[in-house]
Amino acid sequence: MPEHTLAAYLRALDDGADGVECDVRLTRDGHLVCVHDRRLNRTSNGTGLVSTKTLAELEELDFGSWHAGAGELPPDHLRLLTLDRLLTVLRDYGRPVRLLIETKHPSRYGAEVERRLVEMLRKFDLAEPVTGDPLHVTVMSFAALALRRIRALAPALPTVYLLEIPPPGVSRGRLPFGARIAGPGISLVRSRPTLIRNFQAAGHQTYVWTVNEEPDLDLVLSQGIDGIISDRPRFVIDRLNSAPPV
């Protein structure tokens, strides 16, 4: 499925994933949209920066009709996806779902990204996790400052500090203020075998991304990982279901 389309999210959930992950960027007119890259060239037939376009301009672009099997899907499942629509669909999915939202930085809009995100979550009554709510949100970022903003705006929201190259102290299990959960990339986990153990010893859950291959999945499972982010949810679920009981 084309990435960040509604079709892709529904496929992951139908395959049994516990939750889904999205990246959000702010449009020129203040809408949060689910787009990974800062530029439009790779994932659409448009060009230029997402941040310089209005929502109406982005909605004119094609984000996935060329993908194999796209012709069998409703057209609105392949168009640009707003965070508002994704939250609406996930809340009505019919079973508990987790949504991990990554705020992308650097951004020309700076702190406005987090402010708009928390504003949107409050609209859906999701800024404070409630027991029994079928939809639970976690906010992630590579930017420690972004997580500090989330902590100030919505102190109860879980936050994940994403890592490719750890700053000083992080390898020993410390996270920046505002971050509650560690989020190392799989290449970092491969190169630093004690990393997950150090985070967990410091009291931090650890989610690893992006785990798509069997050796990497075996590695993180052997270390008692708390969360796995993958482009292949069915592969991960089948492996978990076939694992011997601990």
* DSSP secondary structure string for all residues of 188-240: HHHH-TTHHHHHHHTT--BEEB---SHHHHHHHHHTT-SEE--S-HHHHHHHH
- Looking at residue 69, its pLDDT comes to 66
What CATH homologous superfamily does 160-241 map to? Phosphatidylinositol (PI) phosphodiesterase (3.20.20.190)
Please give the distance of CA 158 from its chain centroid, rounded to a whole number: 13
- Share the mean pLDDT of the chain: 93
Q: What is the pLDDT along the chain (246 residues), one digit of tens a residue?
A: 788 899 999 999 999 999 999 999 999 999 999 999 999 999 999 999 999 999 999 999 988 776 666 667 777 777 899 999 999 999 999 999 999 999 999 999 999 999 999 999 999 999 999 999 999 999 999 999 999 999 999 999 999 999 998 888 887 899 999 999 999 999 999 999 899 999 999 999 999 999 999 999 999 999 999 999 999 999 999 999 987 654
- Looking at residue 181, its pLDDT comes to 98
- Looking at residue 244, its pLDDT comes to 64
| Proportion of the chain in helix, strand, coil states, percent, rounded to 5 | 35, 20, 45
- Looking at residue 37, its pLDDT comes to 96
- Looking at residue 79, its pLDDT comes to 86
Q: What is this structure's pTM?
A: 0.94
